[in-house]
Structure 1
Amino acid sequence: MAKSDATSVNRRSDILSAAIEVFAEVGYYRATTVQVAERANISQPYVFRFFSTKEQLLLNALEVSWSRVIESFRKVVDTTSPELLEITLIREYENIQAKHQNEILLQMQAQTMREEAIRNTMQDGFKEVREMVLTAFREAGIEKSEERTMLFLARGVLCNVALALNMPELMKG
């Protein structure tokens, strides 16, 4: 990779990281590309060099967040014994929440957005996670795999709500 290509990749990554932070802090609709540019220490026109619209920036930020979850879960599925699969996936998601809160908050916002492209990105992420977990649970011989998958996903959503509202007591069982 040429130095300018590496710089472009790094700048794009910096912009996405800044966007995730800004969108999570002030909300997508209130956030501006000026705020994103300031957070990334670049000029606003430079943001548009990589992302044609604010919505495109959001879509790419959501894809980054879903990729993190999917890749993390894939590693767990590929390396964990069937007996420990479910609890290890839960712990992995708790780790993702702790390390990448802004991405989780961004996904929560996006769940309520009506724009078709945003909704499609969210649906694709949930579908991929659901299918991966369901397949892993089935292959692990977990009884009632579909129900356990639904409960796993529901727990994740509840974890997100607990995080967003700063109410850890929601997760105490």
Structure 2
Amino acid sequence: MAKVTAASANRRAEIVAAAIEVFAEIGYYRATTAQVAELAAISQPYVYRFFTKESLLVEALEVSWQRIIGQFQSVIDSASPEQLEDGLTRAYEAVMQSHRHEILLQMQAQTINEPAVRQSIKQGMGSIQQMVVDAFQQAGIDQAEARTTNFLARGMLCNVSMALDMPELFVKG
């Protein structure tokens, strides 16, 4: 088994970061691992040392889910019950602004039927949904499940608004 060094872990992260950008901009089916390799300034065979194209997408999605989960956890750990939902909204907006490609990647991946990709989407959304429901319940928010559904639906509308560059689709309040 290959030994994982800090350098190879860094290269893996660089490849994933390049894939996020390439897949988000070009689309998974049109993008090639050669384009990912070029952006990462490495050879295409080096990409295949770590990933297939599908496993690269799944890893890129995992990075995007973990970013949202991390941001949400920070809010949950520090927000008062009264500020929880607003804090989660602001955290998501910050992720959308700073990691736009990750959100676009998630949106595109929702249309991909490969089982590993579908599983990643289901697990990511399910984890976030459960995290928000649990936080709302622990905060004593009435109708926590319905509020979570509404929160997630507003987040999806934010995604569409961002992707189309139509801020008028999403009215805060």
User: Per the shorter chain, which TM-score range?
Assistant: over 0.9
2:49 equivalent to 1:22: no
AA of the residue aligned to 2:108: Q
| Secondary structure of residue in 2 paired with 1:20 | helix
2:126 equivalent to 1:127: yes
2:13 equivalent to 1:13: yes
Instruction: Identify the residue that residue 152 of structure 2 maps to in structure 1.
Output: 153
Q: Which runs of 4+ in 1 moved over 6 A?
A: none
TM (norm. structure 1) is 0.96
* Superposition RMSD in Å: 0.9
Structure 2: runs of 5 or more not aligned: none
Q: How many correspondences in the alignment? A: 169
Cα distance in 1 for partners of 2:122, 2:114 equals 12
Cα distance in 1 for partners of 2:72, 2:90 equals 10
TM (norm. structure 2) is 0.96
Cα distance in 2 for partners of 1:39, 1:160 equals 25
Cα distance in 2 for partners of 1:47, 1:55 equals 12
Cα distance in 2 for partners of 1:41, 1:114 equals 30
Post-superposition CA distance 1:112-156 (Å, at most 9, x none)? 111111111000001100001001001101111111100000011
| Secondary structure of residue in 1 paired with 2:17 | helix
Instruction: Identify the residue that residue 41 of structure 1 maps to in structure 2.
Output: 41
Cα distance in 1 for partners of 2:140, 2:83 equals 12
Cα distance in 1 for partners of 2:43, 2:113 equals 30
AA of the residue aligned to 1:44: Q
Instruction: Identify the residue that residue 61 of structure 1 maps to in structure 2.
Output: 60
Query: How far off its partner does 1:172 sit?
Result: 1.9
Cα distance in 2 for partners of 1:6, 1:146 equals 42
Instruction: Identify the residue that residue 96 of structure 1 maps to in structure 2.
Output: 95
Structure 1: runs of 5 or more not aligned: none
**How high is the sequence identity, in percent, across the aligned residues?**
59
| Secondary structure of residue in 2 paired with 1:21 | helix
Instruction: Identify the residue that residue 32 of structure 2 maps to in structure 1.
Output: 32
